[in-house]
Structure 1
Amino acid sequence: MTEVNDQTDPFGADGEEAQSAAARYKQYVTFMVGDRAYGVDIVQVREIKQWSPTTGLPNQPHYTRGVLNLRGTIVPVHDLRARFGGALTEATETHVVVIVWIGDQTVGVLVDAVSDIVTVSVDDIRPVPDSSPEADVSSISGLVNTEDHMVALLDLVNLFGTQRDFAA
């Protein structure tokens, strides 16, 4: 995975140029679930950790694997494969949990592998096509082509909501 150095400007600009470039480009952490590539805005990613067993809780959504203790913070872990209608992932030590912020809540997302960090122009982000009236694409904020594959950019708020939403 590519490291991001917060001390350098990835766009090679300074001052107003840097702000303008930052407005035109976004960075996404990309990861795989099966043969599908997904991305999350790098600003939402807190860390990436190796899979470890979770503690299951009753009355959770079918895609919630349980919770884990992340340095004193209790973090719900959601299985992205199951969230998109597949079976629960047979998690092994090669799987990873992407720890993200959704609003003010920390959440873990179980994926097969993290791929890369990609920088894309906002002009290159394409809308999700309207394929049918029954299709719910609200959890995908856009699509972008990379050298290797097409990446579906996730809208985590629409995909998982927040714990307050589950309680409501």
Structure 2
Amino acid sequence: MGEDLKFIMFSLGNESYGVEVDHVNTIERMVPITRVPKTPSFIKGVINLRGSVLPIIDLRGRFGLEESEYTEQTRIIIVFIKDIEVGLIVDAANDVIDINSGSIESAPEVVGGIRAKYLHGIAKIDQDRVLVLLNLTEVLNKNEIVQLEEFEG
């Protein structure tokens, strides 16, 4: 068996997703977002979080899913990988869960309309539930978020 890894569980629609706790700074309630011109539609803008200006990505838009209204449950998960720190808008942030790395399977080509390159793998939580684990390196791929790079640089 592999090692136990901790994941923040969150939802988009009826699906459960996870991102490694090691890449999460904080989970915030929705705050006003300042729109930035000439950015892809999934980049909602920027926020000022305790003195840091952070770009905000709506994961529904990033994955090509239908957008929905923000609710009391909507959260911004502040994540970082390499030299990028970004807020990800999710429908709800649910829990922290331990998953053994040996129980993570490769992601199929498409899961719920999301291309496999955005996915690290699939983990079975229990008999009838799976957790889709995100590949943050691809979700935050600078080559695909050119305008984000121009804004920061």
SS at match of 1:107: strand
Cα offset, 1:136, TM superposition: 3.2
In the alignment, what sits opposite 2:115?
Answer: 136
Larger-gyration structure (1/2): 1
Cα offset, 1:163, TM superposition: 8.5
In the alignment, what sits opposite 2:42?
Answer: 63
**Percent identical residues:** 31
In the alignment, what sits opposite 1:111?
Answer: 90
> For each residue in 1:14-63, what CA deviation from the matched residue of structure 2 results, as whole angstroms up to 9, or x when unmatched?
xxxxxxx9x61111001001101110010000000101120000111111
Cα offset, 1:90, TM superposition: 1.7
Confirm whether residue 48 of structure 1 aligns to residue 51 of structure 2: no
SS at match of 1:67: strand
Instruction: Kindly indicate whether the alpha-carbon contact (under 8 Å) linking 2:109 and 2:115 is maintained by their aligned counterparts in 1.
Output: no
Structure with the bigger percentage of strand: 2
Instruction: Kindly indicate whether the alpha-carbon contact (under 8 Å) linking 1:52 and 1:93 is maintained by their aligned counterparts in 2.
Output: no
Letter in 1 for 2:131: V
Q: What 5-or-longer segments of structure 1 have no aligned partner?
A: 1-20
Cα offset, 1:162, TM superposition: 3.7
Distance in 1, Cα, partners of 2:130 & 2:54: 29
Q: What 5-or-longer segments of structure 2 have no aligned partner?
A: none
Q: Which aligned segments of 4 or more residues in structure 1 are displaced greater than 6 angstroms? A: none
Specify whether residues 91 and 128 from structure 1 end up closer, same or farther in structure 2 by C-alpha distance, changes over 3 A only. Answer: same
Find 2:129's aligned residue among 149, 157, 160: 149
Letter in 1 for 2:70: A
In the alignment, what sits opposite 1:125?
Answer: 104
Distance in 1, Cα, partners of 2:122 & 2:144: 29
Letter in 2 for 1:85: G
Letter in 2 for 1:87: E
Letter in 2 for 1:99: I
